[in-house]
Amino acid sequence: MFKHPIRSGLGERCGRCDEGRLFRGYLKFNDRCDSCDLDFSVADTADGPAFFVGSLAMIVFAPFYFILPVANIPLVPKIGLWVVLLFVMGAFCLLLLPKFKGVLFNLQIQNKAEEAHFESTGKHGKPPKNWKD
Q: Cite the DSSP H helix spans in 29-74.
A: 48-70
Smallest gap, in angstroms, from Cβ of residue 70 to Zn ion? 51
Residue 14 binds Zn ion (CB under 5 A): yes
Residue 43 binds Zn ion (CB under 5 A): no
Q: Is the C-alpha dihedral spanning 89, 91, 97, 103 positive or negative?
A: negative
Give the CA diameter of the chain: 73
Residue 101 binds Zn ion (CB under 5 A): no
Q: Which is nearer to Zn ion, 39 or 114 (CB)?
A: 39
Select the residue interacting with Zn ion from 16, 40, 101, 105 (CB under 5 A): 16
Smallest gap, in angstroms, from Cβ of residue 8 to Zn ion? 9
Q: List, as one string, the DSSP characters of 66-122.
A: HHHHHSSS-HHHHHHHHHHHHHHHHHHHHHHHHHHHHHHHHHHHHTT---------S
Find the part of the chain contacting Zn ion (CB under 5 A) among 26-34, 43-51, 78-86, 88-96.
Answer: 26-34
Q: Which is nearer to Zn ion, 29 or 53 (CB)?
A: 29
Residue 33 binds Zn ion (CB under 5 A): yes
Q: What is the 8-class DSSP label of residue 28?
A: P
Q: Which is nearer to Zn ion, 16 or 53 (CB)?
A: 16
Return phi, psi of residue 32, to 5°.
Answer: -140, 160
Q: Which is nearer to Zn ion, 14 or 43 (CB)?
A: 14
Smallest gap, in angstroms, from Cβ of residue 71 to Zn ion? 49
Q: What is the 8-class DSSP label of residue 13?
A: B
